[in-house]
């Protein structure tokens, strides 16, 4: 189970990291207008959180054999096919929800600071 969670975390973290990097690059491009950069980053992080929530909702129903987690597991670490769907889908769902929370927190921070900048200046 620990190996399944490790692979799931690595898989979701990589995808989320690329999305975060794209958002950060756009925010740097808008750095001349800090309020706009933060607002844009916040909105894009909200979109990322929604996408991750949708993936979490679908994870228990996605065929486990087509997931990166299943492909990375060696034969000895794979659960039996009778419980594999529940185990892999459940772990992926939890990891997607965790990363959605990270994106939501980043969105709240970006939008909150953007609001404060607009309010104060």
User: How confident is the model over 30-73, as pLDDT tens digits?
Assistant: 999 999 999 999 999 999 999 999 999 999 999 999 999 999 99
Nearest-5° Cα angle at 88, 94 to 100:
25
Question: What is the model's pTM?
Answer: 0.93
Q: How many CB atoms lie within 10 A of CB 91?
A: 20
Per-residue pLDDT tens over the stretch 5-34: 999 999 999 999 999 999 999 999 999 999
Q: Provide the residue ranges of all domains of the chain, joining segments of one domain with +.
A: 2-120
Return d(Cα 51, Cα 23) in angstroms, integer: 14
On whether the CB atoms of residues 96 and 56 are closer than 8 A, the answer is yes
């Amino acid at each position: 189970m620990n190996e399944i969670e490790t692979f799931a975390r690595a898989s979701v973290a990589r995808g989320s990291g690329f999305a975060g990097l794209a958002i950060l690059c756009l925010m740097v491009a808008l750095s001349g207008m800090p309020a706009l950069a933060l607002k844009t980053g916040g909105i894009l992080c909200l979109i990322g959180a929604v996408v991750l929530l949708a993936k979490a909702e679908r994870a228990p129903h996605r065929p486990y054999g087509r997931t990166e987690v299943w492909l990375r597991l060696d034969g000895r670490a794979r659960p039996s096919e009778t419980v594999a769907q529940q185990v892999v889908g459940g772990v992926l769902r939890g990891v997607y929800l965790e990363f959605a929370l990270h994106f939501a927190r980043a969105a709240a921070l970006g939008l909150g600071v953007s609001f404060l900048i607009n309010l104060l200046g």
